Each structure stands twice: as C-alpha cells, then as structure tokens.
Amino acid sequence: MTAAKHPPKDKGQGTTLVLVGTLTIMAGATVAPAIPGIREAFADSANVDLLARMITTTHALAIVLFSPLAGRVVERLGRKRALITGLFAFGIGGSSGAYLPDLYSLLVGRAVLGIGVSLIMTSSMAMIADLYEGADRQRLLGRQAAAGSFGGVVLLLGGGALAGLDWRVVFLIYLLGGLLLVPALMFLPGGRTIAAPREPGAPRPAGSRKVPGGIVAALAAMLLGQVAFYSVPVQVPFLVEDHFDAPSVVAGGVMAVQTFTTGMVAMRFAFFRRLAGEFTLAALSFLAIGIGYLILAVAPNVAVLVVALLVMGTGLGFLMPNLNNWVLAEAPAEVRARYAGLLTTALFLGQFLAPVITQPIVSALGIQPTFAVVACGALVVSVAYYLGGRAQHKEPAAGRDAGEVRELTERFLAGLRTPEPGSEPAWARSVFTEDVMFSYPDGTDRGMEGFEDFHRQARAGWGPLERLDADYAVDVDGDRATVTVRQQATHEPGATATDTDTRVDIEGHYEARAVRTAEGWRFGWFQVRSVTARPPHSGVSATH
C-alpha cells in the first residue's frame, strides 16, 4: 500500500504527519528556559526547587507509564480519532502553564501533555505504517526526524526568547498542537483503525503470536540510543562552561551543530537504507556515537568538541528513522499500534534514564572520563548489532523465504484493509506478478486488471469496512510457495445495496501460489475457494 489515493491530498497528508512528529520535540525542551522564572514565581511554595525541575520531567514519566496502553487506545478509537484526541490533550495540557495557579496544578497539566504525546506518537507512527510502504515510508520517516531536529533548535531559541518576556508566555507555544488539528482533520484519512481489534472468538492473526526479534532489537536500540543522545545536552554545557571557560551561548551553538547534522543525515535516510539493512545501520549509528564520545573524552578545546558532535550527529541521523522504520516494517498490521506505543516508551524511558545513569559516573570520575565510559558502551552495542546482522544473514534459506512470503501475505492483507482494495497500482505490483491468474467460483481472469475489476464489482454494494481479520499458513518449496488464507470481515452495505441489514459478516477461503521473482516474492496464481455472508447478502451472490 502506498500513499493516499487522491494525489492532491497526498502532499498535505505527508506534511501533516511530518509536522505532527515534531511536536514530541516540544514536550520538554521548550519550557526549560522558563524554570528559573517558575522557581521565582512560586518561591514561597514548599519544595519549590524540586517541583520546578519536575516541570521538565513529569511529562516524560507520564509518557513512559501511558505509552504501553496507548497502542490499545489507538486500536480502539482508530488512528485519526486517537491522533485528534492527542493533539487536543497536547494543546490543553501544554498551554495550561500559562494560566494554572500553582505548581501542583502545573504538574497535572504536564501529565496531561505526556498522555497527549503518547497518543500523538503512537497513532501517527501507526498511520504512517498504514499509509506508506518501502522507500515512501523511509523518506517520510527521514523527513520527520529531520524536521524534529531542525524544529528543536528553533523551539529552544524561541522558548528562551519568550522566557525573557514572561515565563508563562513560553507555555503558549504548545497551542501549535491545537493548530495542527486543522490539517489533521483535512488531510488525514478517517474511520476506524485499518487493523481493527480482534473480536472474541475470532481467529488469532498469525502475525501477532509473538514479538518479532527485530522489534525487540529495535526497542533495545531506541532505549540505549536515547541514553547516549541525551547525555550530550545533560553534560556538554558543563564541559564547555566549566572546563573550556566558554559562555553558555557557545554550549548552545555546539549542540546546535549536532542537531543540524542529525537533521541533514536523517533527510537522506531512504538512500542509506537502500545500501544497508536495519542491523547494519544500527551498528553504524552506535559506532559513530562511540567514536564521537571518544573524541569528547579527549577534546582539549571547543573546536575538537565540534568535530565530536559532527560525528555523533551523523550516527544519530541514522538511528531514529532506522528504528522507527524497523518497528513499522516488522510489526504485524493488526498490532502495529501496540508496538508503536512500546517504541514511544523506549524513547522517553531512555531520555529519563540518561541523567540517572551518567550523573553518578560524573560525580565519581568527572565529565570527560564519563564520556569515555559511554563511548565504550556504545562501541560494545555497535559490535552486538553487527554480530546480530551477521547471524540474521546465516538464517536458513527456507526460513528466510517463509518470512518473505509471510511479509508478502501481510502486504496483501494490508491492501485489503484500505478503503478501496486494489485501487493502488503500486500496491498491486508489490503483491502480484504481471500475468497473475485469478480463479473465482464463476470464472477466471488474467492480469492485475482482472483483480481490480473483481474488487470493483464486489465493493459496489458495500459501505465502510469495519473489521478484517485473517489467519494463514505458508508452505515453501524452493522457488514456489503455497499460502492458504481464512479471512473474516464485517461490512456495512453501501448506498446501492438493497439489503436492509446494517452489518454483514463475510468469510472467505483463498489459496495463492507465490513465486520468486527479481523483485522478490509475488503471487502468480490466486484462487477464491469460497465466500459466504451472514446474513445472506446480494453483494456476495452477485459477484462471487
């Protein structure tokens, strides 16, 4: 499946998803310049120093606690509804600091902000997976990571400027989340989730029986990568100001170098992904991070510090879009929102743990020796992902083929879950051979046009697809494979249907033969064995 069907909306759709992704950068960094003003305004409050600092961390704790549940919320509400809810919570919770009366209510507002960020990240990631595939998805994720990096610099500078006016004004920046409600409503597809929750008694989807190993590897890399990444803004300013006697503006400048480099590299992620796989890119990311930290550990002045951050920025530019794409590509369609929620948890847990892990080492050894310790850890992680990639390549060929045929089947099912199955030529080419043979109970067709005609007729009497679940089995034999599918779906009749029933349950049994081609596995023969409707419906008898 590729981008939206209607080209005029596609640009707005992609831009909206990119802008939504930048909101997570605003969550904590934006209000950091306002903390001194908050502490002064509530100087008479008990524990003011602790509570004021918690303004920058409470949202992260809320995200870590709520994100594992956010995936299920997204599955229940649907991608768009969950995203709209998250944007509303982001705007209300984030801007609440502009008018709430005391520190405790400010912290409640920050918790609401965290819940909003959880829903935004989880729903937008799931929506990207639903709407984009392959290079299109990689380009969008790269643009999103780049926009987040560039936007982070702008928001940090803007927050500092606004804090100079009044600390409460800074919180009004979060109303940008409310402004994005307009393009989200205009450009993003609505309806329920593309992969709706499984109903009681329905067959368990084959792809959701266990957590794929690739997703576990990506979650671990996200956690460790964020610990490494956030050790820079936590410790580098002290190194610049205390060891190199440079003003704070220099500390901001050198960190901006890293952020800018990260954004530039992330924009080219689709190109780099064509050259290397997920494990290799993760290994290269941690290698660059490790080398950057080694340079930081011995840097004698600010100029060398800039070189170190350039190297680290390159590694971080690979890391985020690679891990996001990794999870979205590996996650079965029916549970990808849950894995997106776990990815959000790993991201913010890493940010939360960065000072907790590094500060005791700094207290014991000093800043630059701590950078050497972090460098060693990053290099060990790099080796682990390199070896993981080699082990993956040694997987038995039959196992790899079976996995690729399962991916082909999931791609086919994902296309059926779109509002108009078979309407995307790029999706059809990614699933079928050019001369594919279709066999139906009442005849046969050859070529992808026959498939499109079949679905055009079949959907003539149907309204929205409410649910589609499928269970399938794969049998590989050399360069050929057989896939048997049992599919259950729930539809509402469309405007042309004569039936009075508001819901119709469809059950279909299919058998497909896949062949290995130069572009990968594709279905070359597809047989519809049986399709039944409960209660009986004219849309089935007329077209099956």
The closest of 268, 131, 429 to 276, measured between CA atoms, is: 268
Residue 423: CATH number of its domain: 3.10.450.50
Q: How many domains are contained in the chain?
A: 3
Backbone CA torsion sign across 269, 274, 278, 279: negative
Residue 258: predicted pLDDT? 80
Percent of the chain with pLDDT over 70: 76
d(CA 162, CA 172): 9
pLDDT > 70? residue 182: yes
Note whether 135 and 270 are within 8 A (CB): yes
Instruction: Give the model confidence (pLDDT) of 319-375 as tens digits.
Output: 989 998 888 888 877 788 888 889 889 988 888 888 788 878 888 888 889 889 999
Examine the pLDDT at 10 and tell me if it is beyond 50. Answer: yes
Residues 350 and 440 in one domain: no
Same domain, 151 and 225: no
pLDDT beyond 50 at 530 = yes
Q: Which of 470, 481, 480, 483 is nearest to 421 (CA)?
A: 470
The predicted structure's pLDDT at residue 274: 76
Q: Is the distance from CB of 187 to CB of 12 less than 8 angstroms?
A: yes
437 and 521 both lie in a single domain:
yes
Of the pLDDT bands very low, low, confident and very high (cuts 50, 70, 90), residue 116 is very high
Average pLDDT over residues 510-536: 78
Positive or negative, the CA dihedral 27, 28, 32, 37 is positive
Q: What is the pLDDT of residue 193?
A: 45
Residue 435 vs residues 431, 446, 478, 483: alpha-carbon distances, Å: 12, 6, 21, 18
Q: At 2, is the pLDDT very low, low, confident or very high (cuts 50, 70, 90)? A: very low
The string of DSSP codes covering 361-400 is: HHHHH-HHHHHHHHHHHHHHHHHHHHHHHHHHHTS-HHHH
Q: Which of 175, 197, 219 is the last residue of a domain?
A: 197
Query: What is the arithmetic mean of pLDDT over 539-543?
Result: 43
Residue 375: C-alpha distances to residues 37, 224, 296, 347, 358 (Å): 36, 12, 9, 20, 12
Residue 328: what pLDDT? 84
Q: Which domain holds residue 188?
A: 1-197
Tell me which DSSP letter residue 44 carries.
T
User: Would the pTM count as exceeding 0.75?
Assistant: no
pLDDT, position 203 = 41
Share of the chain above pLDDT 90, in %: 14
The C-alpha atoms of residue 244 and residue 451 are separated, in whole angstroms, by 68
Residue 392 has pLDDT above 70, yes or no: no
**Residue 308 pLDDT > 70:** yes
Is 90 exceeded by the pLDDT of residue 475? Answer: no
Query: Residue 100 gets which letter from DSSP?
Result: -
Length of the chain: 544
Residue 271: band (very low, low, confident or very high) from pLDDT cuts 50, 70, 90:
confident
Decide if 26 contacts 59 (C-beta within 8 A): no
How far is it, in rounded angstroms, from Cα 356 to Cα 350?
10
477 lies in the same domain as 332:
no
Q: Where is average pLDDT lowest: 182-191, 424-433, 478-487?
A: 424-433
- Assign 241 a pLDDT band (cuts: 50, 70, 90): low
* Among candidate residues 503, 510, 496, the one with its CA nearest the CA of residue 534: 503
Q: Which two tokens stand for residue 147?
A: 């926009």
Domain end, chosen from 377, 394, 411, is at: 394
d(CA 30, CA 153): 10
Cα 241 from Cα 431, distance rounded (Å): 57
Query: Which pLDDT belongs to residue 463?
Result: 59
Tokens 């042309």, located at residue: 496
Which CATH number covers residue 164?
A: 1.20.1250.20
Spatial separation of the C-alpha atoms in residues 70 and 338, rounded to whole Å: 7
Q: Rank 96-110, 158-172, 264-278, 520-534 by mean pLDDT and report only the highest.
A: 96-110
Residue type at position 267: M
Of 337, 359, 394, which residue sits at a domain end? Answer: 394
The answer on 84 and 186 residing in a single domain is yes
List Cβ neighbours of 141 (8 Å cut-off, separation of 6 or more): 128, 269, 321, 324, 325, 328
Cα of 121 vs its chain's centroid, Å: 7
366 and 482 part of one domain: no
292 with 431, same domain: the answer is: no
pLDDT the model gives residue 295: 93
Q: What is the mean pLDDT of residues 516-530?
A: 80
Report H helices in 245-277: 248-266, 269-275
Cα angle: 377, vertex 383, 387; to 5 degrees: 145
Q: Using the CB atoms, write b or e for 305-328: b if 16+ within 10 Å.
A: bbebbbbbbbbbbbbbbbbbbbbb
pLDDT classification of 398: cutoffs 50, 70, 90: low
User: What is the pLDDT at residue 6?
Assistant: 36
Q: At what angle do helices 302-330 and 336-365 cross, to 10 degrees?
A: 150
| Higher local confidence (pLDDT), 454 or 475 | 475
| Residue 485 pLDDT grade (very low, low, confident, very high; cuts 50, 70, 90) | confident
- Residue that wins the pLDDT comparison between 195 and 240: 240
Instruction: State whether 313 and 418 are in the same domain.
Output: no
Is residue 86 within 8 A of residue 178, CB to CB? The reply is no
- DSSP character string of 452-505: HHHHHHHTTTEEEEEEEEEEEEEEEETTEEEEEEEEEEEEEE-TT-----S-EE
Residue 201 predicted with pLDDT over 50 = no
Task: Assess whether pLDDT exceeds 70 at residue 11.
Answer: no
Are 254 and 302 in contact by the 8 Å Cβ rule? The answer is yes
| pLDDT classification of 83: cutoffs 50, 70, 90 | very high
Q: 310 phi and psi, to 5 degrees?
A: -65, -45
Lowest mean pLDDT among 266-275, 413-422, 516-525: 413-422
Contact in structure between 196 and 337 (CB atoms under 8 Å): no
Write out 279-338 in H/E/C secondary structure: HHHHHHHHHHHHHHHHHHHHCCCHHHHHHHHHHHHHHHHHHHHHHHHHHHHHCCHHHHHH
Alpha carbon distance 288, 385 (integer Å): 13
For residues 118 and 30, state if they share a domain.
yes
- What is the C-alpha separation between 426 and 3, in angstroms, rounded? 10
Mean pLDDT of the residues in the chain: 78
Point out which residues pair with 528 in neighbouring strands. Answer: 510
Taking only the tens place, the pLDDT of each residue in 419-451 is 555 455 677 778 888 778 877 766 677 776 666
Specify whether 193 is located in the same domain as 263: no
Q: Are 170 and 241 found together in one domain?
A: no
Q: Describe the strand order of the beta sheet including 432-440 as a list of residue ranges.
A: 443-446, 432-440, 520-534, 504-517, 480-493, 462-477
Query: What is residue 424's predicted lDDT score, i.e. its pLDDT?
Result: 59
pLDDT given at position 204: 45
Alpha carbons within 13 A on the beta-carbon side of 445: 15
Question: Residue 530 to residues 170, 443, 446: CA-CA distances in angstroms?
Answer: 61, 13, 19
- Give yes or no: residues 147 and 219 share one domain: no
Q: Report which DSSP code applies to 201.
A: T
CA 457/CA 269 separation, integer angstroms: 40
